[in-house]
């Protein structure tokens, strides 16, 4: 009888975990849809916000704005990470999606350069800054929340859904692009069709605000709140965070190569295959969609594997394969005009990157105690992404314009090599996790 009651209680707890993970993940999905809609539809709205010129110059301008958005991510990681550590993960997640809704709506309704002149790119930059602030806080808070509410022993599996929904957001953006491409002409897409994507994102974000209000707060946060009320420590402060310099440097080191590789293959490749390999635009969209769909499916499989064999082995796989194979993969991709071969090469690269993406959230969460987990995960990660991930496409476009595109391939491999050194020297976080120890 007692065993049945315990089993029933465990089943209810597991369902509650799944419910919280789903609600948190849906919000993450919409946030990243809004973020990636910018990249997916750049080829259509670049000429709307910037004066006439060659396509590479317009792409370079929009890539610069894409990079500018990343500059706000450290500020978002700090402000919303601090907010999440002080006032709760749930409240911070509601706030982040509200800001994303505002940014997407502003892009959707801003007139083009021909109508309002220099005000058009200025408003685009402002919108992207707001989105950057939002997504900087979204990453830190959702990574922390999913890790904390996950079932012990399955934290790698559940936390991997952050990248499932992150990639899922990009898939939604690409899927909508495919639908619009099939019903609208290229001229209609360039004139007004791209605005539909941002209207959809803004409306979806408003719906998610309501869903997130119904999530449970994590037990780890509630426990540390009780301790704080009893005068047992402060939360979410830089003063507390700097007491963990080794952990901060670990976050920077393990993120550097992963973020450059991810943004190279998940965002820049769409322009790369079109401008360098000269594969037709709609074919490139299909290639990206299918490759990212498989990539999303791989995330929970790799996350569950990390629960069994440890996080470090997957990171080592990414580091070694990424260092050795990046240049050959991108060189072949640049020279092929065969869509199927391009798809296989991209998929191979994304399989390698899975060693990082599937577990990067849980690894960072396992490094910090609850009272500074959100800011600890978010701030150093966002700084690294802003400096390296956000500038990857900008560097690639600049090198292409200068006639030295192949140097970018070596740049990506070099960044992965730096992270490989970190992976080779770091400890196995799942065996010394602050989460499992219940460290507040």
- Nearest Cα residue to 35 out of 156, 127, 153, 114: 127
Structure tokens at 278: 């000269």
Q: Are 428 and 312 in contact (CB under 8 A)?
A: yes
Least-confidence region, from 40-49, 88-97, 116-125, 368-377: 40-49
Q: Is 90 exceeded by the pLDDT of residue 314? A: yes
Which of 52-56, 230-234, 281-285 is predicted least confidently? 230-234
Say if residues 235 and 85 touch (Cβ distance below 8 Å). Answer: yes
pLDDT of residue 437: 63
Which of the four pLDDT bands, split at 50, 70 and 90, describes residue 346?
A: very high
Q: Is residue 224 a contact partner of residue 235, using CB atoms and an 8 Å limit?
A: yes
Cα dihedral angle (439, 433, 297, 414), rounded to 10 degrees? Answer: 120
Cβ neighbours of 223 (radius 10 Å): 13
CA distance 142 to 387: 21
Cβ partners under 8 Å of residue 114, min gap 6: none
pLDDT value at residue 229: 56
Q: Which CATH superfamily is domain 14-435 in?
A: MFS general substrate transporter like domains (1.20.1250.20)
Residue 228 has pLDDT above 70, yes or no: no
The dihedral built from the CA positions of residue 354, 360, 362 and 366, taken in this order, carries a sign that is positive
- Give me the pLDDT at residue 3, please: 45
For residues 52-61, average pLDDT: 62
Mean pLDDT (whole number) for 229-246: 75
CA torsion, points 76, 79, 80, 85, in degrees to nearest 10? 150
Q: What is the DSSP letter of 187?
A: H
Band of residue 10 on the pLDDT scale cut at 50, 70, 90: low
Burial of residue 404, with CB atoms counted within 10 A of its CB: 0-12 exposed, 13-18 middle, 19 or more buried: exposed
pLDDT tens-digit series, residues 316-337: 999 999 999 999 999 999 999 8
Residue 187 has pLDDT above 80, yes or no: yes
Q: Which long-range contacts (CB under 8 A, 24 or more apart) does 384-389 make?
A: 384/251, 384/252, 384/255, 384/256, 384/259, 385/70, 385/73, 385/255, 385/259, 386/70, 386/71, 386/73, 386/74, 388/256, 388/259, 388/260, 388/415, 389/70, 389/259, 389/260, 389/262, 389/263
| pLDDT > 50? residue 397 | yes
Its pTM surpasses 0.85: no
d(CA 12, CA 111): 51
Residue 54: the pLDDT is 56
Q: Where are the domains of the chain?
A: 14-435
How far, CA to CA in Å, does 358 sit from each of 166, 241, 330, 414?
Answer: 11, 25, 22, 21
DSSP for 395-440, written as a single string: HHHHHHHTT-THHHHHHHHHHHHHHHHHHHHS--GGGS-HHHHT--
Q: For residues 372-401, give the mean pLDDT.
A: 87
| Predicted confidence (pLDDT) at residue 11 exceeds the cutoff of 60 | no
pLDDT over 80 at 70, yes or no = no
C-beta of residue 164 within 8 angstroms of C-beta of residue 300? yes
Helices 89-109, 194-213: axis angle to 10 degrees equals 160
Average pLDDT over residues 260-283: 89
Summarised one tens digit per residue, pLDDT across range 96-148 is 888 888 888 998 998 987 788 888 888 888 888 888 888 888 877 888 888 88
Which pLDDT score, from 0 to 100, does residue 2 have? 44
Determine the Cα angle at 163 with ends 161 and 167, to 5°: 120
Contact present, 275 and 56 (Cβ < 8 Å): yes
Highest mean pLDDT of the ranges 17-31, 216-230, 310-324, 392-406: 310-324
What integer pLDDT is reported at residue 8 of this predicted model?
42
pLDDT, residue 32, reads 83
88/343: higher pLDDT: 343
Whether the predicted pLDDT of 232 surpasses 60: no
Query: Who contacts 170 (Cβ-Cβ below 8 Å, separation ≥6)?
Result: 32, 33, 36, 39, 40, 266, 267, 292
In the prediction, which pLDDT does 39 show?
76
- What is the total residue count of the chain? 440
Average pLDDT over residues 297-303: 94
The pLDDT mean for the chain works out to 85
179-188, 210-219, 415-424: segment of lowest average pLDDT: 210-219
């Amino acid at each position: 009888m007692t065993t049945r009651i315990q089993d029933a209680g465990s089943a209810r707890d597991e369902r509650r975990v799944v419910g919280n993970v789903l609600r948190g993940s849906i919000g993450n999905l919409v946030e990243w849809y809004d973020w990636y809609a910018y990249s997916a539809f750049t080829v259509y709205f670049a000429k709307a916000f910037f004066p006439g010129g060659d396509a590479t110059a317009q792409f370079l301008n929009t890539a610069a704005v894409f990079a500018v958005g990343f500059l706000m991510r450290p500020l978002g990681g700090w402000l919303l990470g601090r907010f999440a550590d002080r006032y709760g993960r749930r409240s911070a997640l509601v706030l982040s999606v509200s800001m994303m809704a505002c940014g997407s709506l502003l892009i959707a309704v801003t007139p083009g350069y021909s109508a309002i002149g220099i005000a058009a790119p200025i408003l685009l930059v402002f919108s992207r800054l707001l989105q950057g602030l939002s997504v900087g806080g979204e990453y830190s808070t959702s990574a922390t929340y999913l890790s904390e509410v996950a079932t012990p022993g399955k934290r790698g599996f559940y936390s991997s859904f952050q990248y499932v929904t992150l990639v899922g957001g990009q898939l939604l953006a690409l899927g909508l692009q495919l639908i619009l491409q099939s019903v609208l002409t290229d001229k209609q897409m360039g004139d007004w069709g791209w605005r539909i994507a941002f209207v959809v994102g803004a409306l979806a974000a408003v719906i998610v605000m309501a869903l997130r209000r119904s999530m449970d707060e994590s037990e780890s946060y509630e426990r540390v709140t009780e301790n704080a009320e009893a005068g047992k420590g402060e939360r979410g402060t830089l003063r507390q965070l700097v007491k963990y310099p080794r952990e901060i440097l670990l976050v920077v080191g393990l993120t550097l190569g992963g973020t450059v590789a991810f943004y190279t293959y998940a965002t820049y490749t769409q322009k790369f295959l079109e401008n360098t390999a000269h594969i037709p635009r709609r074919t490139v969209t299909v290639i990206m969609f299918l490759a990212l769909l498989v990539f999303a499916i791989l995330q929970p499989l790799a996350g569950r594997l990390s629960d069994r064999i440890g996080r470090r082995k997957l990171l080592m796989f990414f580091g070694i394969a990424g260092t050795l194979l990046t240049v050959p993969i991108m060189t072949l991709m640049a020279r092929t005009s065969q869509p199927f071969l391009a798809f296989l090469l991209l998929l191979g690269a994304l399989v390698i990157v899975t060693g990082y993406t599937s577990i990067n959230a849980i690894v960072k969460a396992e490094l910090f105690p609850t009272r500074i987990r959100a800011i600890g995960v978010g701030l150093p990660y966002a700084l690294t992404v802003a400096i390296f991930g956000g500038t990857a496409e900008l560097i690639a476009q600049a090198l292409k314009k200068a006639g030295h595109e192949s140097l970018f391939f070596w740049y990506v491999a070099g960044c992965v090599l730096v992270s490989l050194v970190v992976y080779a020297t770091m400890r196995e976080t799942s065996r010394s996790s602050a989460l499992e120890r219940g460290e507040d």
